[in-house]
Structure 1
Amino acid sequence: MSLESTAPQEPQAGIVESAEEVRKMLRQALLLAAEQGGRELCWLDADFATWPLSDPALLEALSRWALPHRRLHLLATDYEPLRRVHPRFVQWRQFHDHVITAGAYDPADALERSQPSPQGVVLAPGLLVMKLWTPVRASLSLRDAREEAMAREWFDAIEQRSATSFASSTLGL
């Protein structure tokens, strides 16, 4: 098997408008961000249930990415669906707690007053911004500093108002 066939296929920038294309673009964007992303990845979704977070190739790529100086910022309104649907990711999260910050946000905080707000975001600074508008519509920008700056400002504002959530383990008495 050649190395080319195992490398993530770089997604095409633009807009997709079908559930299958959105899932494909999301998987490609996540793989690319894990393989080529820098020190930081930022993900936002209501619950991450429809994301391909149980994908073995993605988890392997994230494991290689998860060095101590890196950070994966997660923001969700509810992590319970993620726990139920993606037990492999939850296990990965336990092993890589050192790189993860997770917050719960109020959905009202994600609404942009001046323009439409995406339902989900994948931000890999210097590489890509993917916005999930609906389950059947998404947009992707590659190496677009303006789009990245706007997405980063929006994400940071939500993160600042979020509360710590999605602990790597639950302690009980």
Structure 2
Amino acid sequence: MADLLFTSNRSEVARRYGVPESTLRTWETAARKKSPDQQKSLFDQERERQLRELNHDAAASARASVAYIRRRLEASAENEIITAQIRQKLDQAAGVTIGPEGVELGPAEELEENERIGLIQAADRHRPLGDYPLANYLRALMTVQGRAAEMLGEDEPEENEIRVNISDI
């Protein structure tokens, strides 16, 4: 019966479990009937339970993703400082200094080729996270959350759902 919640093909479910299709049809009809004290049929109750479970899992994944984005942003801020220091050292090696008056040319510092290559590679490793990948990641999270709410037929978020506020990040 749980497979019938997600698969509308009764013959496929019957074949998979070796149950006659007529038996599945009888079970489904019985599950869809409501007793006088029920607001929803057993079939509808199970469907909603499954959707809530999916929504809960999606919300938990979204929370983990937001935590991941926060860690990436913190690392990106550190990487930005490191990259700025590396650029400053490379600029000084090229004889360029940035002072209060702006860019000035001066004597170049001696920098061995191996050291210069190492600094360039370090700058590559410590590249800060750009706005475009971050925006795409947040858009994906918000889409997942919206679809979960849509599946449940809800306009308002549940307690276990999250709302991503970009200013928080």
Pairwise TM-score range, normalised by the shorter structure: under 0.3
TM value normalised by structure 1: 0.20
Structure richer in helix, relative to its length: 2
Please tell me whether Structure 1 or Structure 2 has the larger radius of gyration of its CA atoms. Answer: 2
TM value normalised by structure 2: 0.20
Structure richer in strand, relative to its length: 1
Flag the structure with more relative contact order, 1 or 2, with Cα contacts below 8 A and sequence separation at least 6.
1
